[in-house]
Structure formats: structure tokens, C-alpha cells
Structure 1
Amino acid sequence: MRSQIIILSVFVSIMLAMGFVFIYSAGLSMEARLVGFYASEYLQRQLVAFFIGLLLASIAIFMQGSTHLRLSFLFYYPMTILLLTFVLFSQSRGGAHRWIELGSFSIQVSEFAKIVLLLILAAHFGKLKGEKATFWNTVIFPLIISAPIIGLTFIEPDLSTSIIMLAIVLIMMILGGAKLGYLLILFMAMTLIAVFLLKADLIKPYQLERLSEFFSSLKGQSHEQVSYSLLAISSGDTFGKGLGMGIVKYYLPVSYSDFIFATIGEEWGIFGMFLLMFSYVGFVMVISQIALRYVKNIGGKLFVIGFGFYVFLQATVNIGVNLGLFPPTGVTLPFVSYGGSSLISLILGLGISFSIILERGEDEIG
């Protein structure tokens, strides 16, 4: 197992290192645009988030893995209350209530809510060992316990994160043993709900505009963000223009966050993009292999595998946006994009995973 953990750590280190390097590189474009802004400012903030994440992960690792699962509801209720508080009282940005401001830093609670969602679902499915898989215990009840977190995230409004959360629930249902027929029923129900949301005008105008712009771009009307992203990627060739030498990032919005993959493509070319994508594939494969082979606790096994697929899914969505395959979502590139809340929550999730992996024995959740 030691060699696999080392390999897993190498993949994570590659992601983190590329993130730090290209956050600084993308910061050069911000320095050129904003008076008094320094290229290292975002990097410094990201490093602070990294060390906070390491501290929390260290605490998580020293706890028994099964303890995280047993205490999952103690995380669940405060998280739900915190999300509700955010919706009611947090700082509004562009009509969205996702952040709480702490001086020059801001916290996006929904990033941590995804980890809590994984924990609560893993704990639930871990308790089902030996029980018959029914529509209630593999679909309906998981939806009931997920609904407050997903619903409040949607109300913020944060459509992209709520969709990622729904995907997490679906992944955990599949891993937890939900039958195909049950999932088909769920899919049909979700389709009806989506139609209702559209008819009832519950999806915000800016969210519909994003989708409209994307589908218009497929018909030949250029989508500005995606167009610049594709230009950056296509101009990088095999090995890119060189670190810090990118030009398109000066015109590409949030080149340090949502579109950092395009910055990597321009400056490190196909080589850089392949290295990063290989790291994500390797990450989900190795962490899943470790969980399947060494983790005896069913709930723990589900959390570790679910966390791996969550990271891979979010990376796929972000890269898909950069390649023009999906509409812009605001979803970060895990371990790479600038964003303190995202990075801290991911490192914490990794710490919980290591805690579960390193705990030996047959202890099941009671």
C-alpha cells in the first residue's frame, strides 16, 4: 500500500504545483490590468489556503477514519444551518449569496458542503451492509438527506455547484448498490423537475443566458470566453510558448481560476495539458484501487472512492468548459484553480480519505 500512497501523493503534488505556478503566471495578466495589484497576490492567498488545508487534513488524519463517518450527522446539521445563514445574510455578488467576507478573504461554504455530502451518504450506505437494496434506502432516503444541502446551494443561487452535488449523490447511489431500474425512475423524475423549474422561472436569467450563449456558439455565434480559451489552447502547440509567455490570458476572464487550463495549454502546450489530465485519471484510479483493496469499512470505502470520482468529475467538467464542450459553469479545476475554499475543502477531503485508508481493521459504522 505504501507505494500506491506515494504514487497518489505524486499525482496530487503535480496538480498542486501546476496550480501554484500557473496562478502566478495568470496573475501577471491581472497585474497588467489593475493598478496596485501584484502577480504574487493570488499565489500568496492560495498558499495560505494550502497551509490551512494541510492543518485541517492533519487533524483529520489523526482521527480514526470510522469516526468521521460516525460524526457525519454532526457535520451535516451545522452545514445545513450555515448554508441557510449564507442565503439569508451573506455578501451578495452579482445577485448570488455564496460568500462570507473575512477581511481580504472570503469563504464559499458550498465547497465544504460537498465533502459533508460525501460523508453523510457514505455513512448511510455503509449502514446498509447485509440489507436488501430497496428504492427507499438506495434512492429516496439519500435524496431526502441530500435535499437541504443541494436545495440551499441552488437558492444561493449556485446552479453549477448544485448540479455537481446531484452528480455526487448519483455516484454514491451507484456505488451504494442502487438498481438500474431505480436510477431510471430517478432520471425521469429529475427531467420532470427540470422542466418545472424552467416553466416556473426558478432558474435565474444569467444561468439561462450562459446556456443560451453556449448553444448559440454551436451555431456559429462566438462565445467570448470559450473562444479565447480555445485560442489559447490551440496556440500552445506541443510544448507551449513558455512559462509566463502566454498572451491570450491578458484577454481571458478568470484565467487564474475557471480558465486556468487554457493558460496551461497556451504556456505548456499539449505536454502540460496531458500531464494534468493524466494526473486526474491516475488519481481516481489509484485512490479507488487503494480503497477497494485495503479499506474494510464499507462506508469508508464508499467515501474514498466517491471522493476520487468527485475530483475526477469536477476536473472533467472544468476541462470540458475550457474545450468548449460545456457551457461556462464557474466550477474550479480541483487542486489547480485559484480559490481558497475549494483548495481547503479538497485537501480536507484528501485528509479524511487518508484517515480512512490508514485505519486498519473491520470496524463498521454502527
Structure 2
Amino acid sequence: MLVNEQWVNSGKDKPSLNQTYENRPFRPVTDVINGVPGRGNPEDQQTYDRLSRVFRTAQVKNYDLSIQGGSEKIRYNIGAGYTDQEGILKPADFQRGSFKLNLDSKLNDKVTLSSSNGVYRTFRQQVRGGAGQQAGHLLAALHHPTYLPLYNADGTPARGSIYENIDNLVNTDITNISTTSIRYIGNQFIEVNILPGLKFKSSIGLDYDNYNEREFFNDQTIIGGSPNPLGYRKEVFTTSTIIQNEQTLSYVKALNSRQNITVLIGNSIQSTDVKVAQEVGQGFPNNFFQQISAASVRTADQRRSKSTLASFFGRLNYSLDNKYFLEGVIRADGSSKFGANNRWGFFPV
């Protein structure tokens, strides 16, 4: 009824549209005007619920296992976990498996070693909540008129608007947008008590991430269907490596019963290396072929960025009666991202 009313009102506002009550879209099927029959009266229309096909009651599952123990000279903590979290918007899903190993070892009264390690595998089944007509899950469910069928008479997915058929988007065999990440985060350090109050620390850390993004649209979809080459596949491989090394030397001294000083000097170096490779394939023999090597049209590009950050710093703390405190800090930071003539910054200036 609202569609008919809008149709007639638009015709009144702009007569050139030739939109009248007589040729309204929802009228008896027997009313044929210019060879076009009516859709049927409003009360005769069937309602197609698309929201129930995309929304769901989501579940969250968590499993954790940890083992810890040790002795006077060594301690360990081993942990493993798994998370599976569904999204309320089909087919969104998040899965993560993790393994952690932490070790602390006291070699003697002066030397301590420590190791912290974590390995993570993450999988995300993604949806495009509101990104464009061609693959926006929520938009496809909201903006299709409810009287439009989900499928044509021949069984093919129906699209009565500019939005994708919702069943195409929730079926991962037809539309698959997902990411996989394998990541290691670790830090190893040594601490040496050189003299009473004088302590040296050195650490090295690694953050390595292998990240794979992929999209697939088969030939039933807007993106992967005609008039484009049939089928669309895109993969982006990103490898990120961050290495950080830090050394500090600290000295703590009680000058007398009222005064204490702490002196710290150190440096840190961080190296970042990011590699990105992207591949796109279109025109597959059929929907069972999803490897980009099988596509008739293939494109690819690569890029890489590297940077280094070096820092030197010092800090002096003075306290009197544990009530009055004075602190002085100085540092210098240099980055390969800065210009050749202005590569270092000094603080305070």
C-alpha cells in the first residue's frame, strides 16, 4: 500500500512520470497496462523475511589449560587456549588457538635468565556489515523489499534491487571473506647483578606475524558474475617482523638515612620489516576452481617497507625523606623515517 501511495503521489508532483492510480504497481494481475500486468493487490503479496536468514543467536566457547611449577632456581608456566566466538551476523566467526611458555631461571646469585613466548593462530570469517551494495550483508537484508522472492522461478538467486542476494552472502561456498594469522611474540632477557646496587639488563624481543586475507565470490554473485569474468578471488599476504633489543644499566644508592639516588642509562634498537604481496584472479573455469593460478585474468603486485629506530636515554632520580622527589631525563631518538638532515631528535631540546 505504501508503494502504491508513493507511486501516485510522485505522479501528482511530477505529471511527466505518468504514474497514476490506474497504473499503480500493486494492482490485480488481470489489469494489464501497456503489456505489463499488475503484481497483485497488496494483501495478496507474500512476505520474505531476510533478517532471520542473516541474524542468529551467537555462541562463545572458551577452553583454557595451564600448568605451572618449578623449584628454587627455575620456574615455568605453560598454557594453552582455544576460543570460538560466533557473530550475530552470519557467517561471522572468530577462532583463536594459543600456546604460551614462560621460563625463569636463576643460574646463581648474580645471573637470572627469563624467557616469555607465545604462539597464536587466529581465523576470522568476516562479513561486510555496511560496506557497499555488492557484498554488504546487513544492507542486503534491510534494503530488499520484503515482497520480493529470494529465488527466481528457475531456482537462481533473485535480486530485486542493487543489493546482493542474502543467501549468496551467508553461504561461504559462494562468498568467502576471511583472514588467517599465525603470530609469534617472544622476549628473552638476562639480568646480572654486577655489584651491590649495580644491575645490568639485556633483552631481545621478536614479534612475527604472517597474515593472509582472502576474498572469493563465485559466478552467482554481483562481483563474480556476468558481465565480469566469472568468479573473483583476491589474496593479500602480509609478513611483519619487528625485532627489538634493549640494554639498561642501573645503580641504586642510599647516600644516607635521608637521601637516595637512582641512575639509569640505556639504549634500544627496533627494526621493522613489512612485506605485502597481493594477487587477484578473475575468470575461473567453474566454481570448483578457486586457486588464482586457474584464473584467465591474473594481476599481482608487491611492496616492502623497512625502518629502524634507535634510542639512547638516561634518567636520574633523587629522593629526600621519601617526601621530596627530583627527576631528570634525557634521551635521543633516531629513525630511518626521518630526513637525512634531521634524523635525530633530542629531548629535552
TM-score (norm: length of structure 2): 0.19
Rg comparison, structure with higher value = 2
TM-score (norm: length of structure 1): 0.18
Structure with the larger helix share: 1
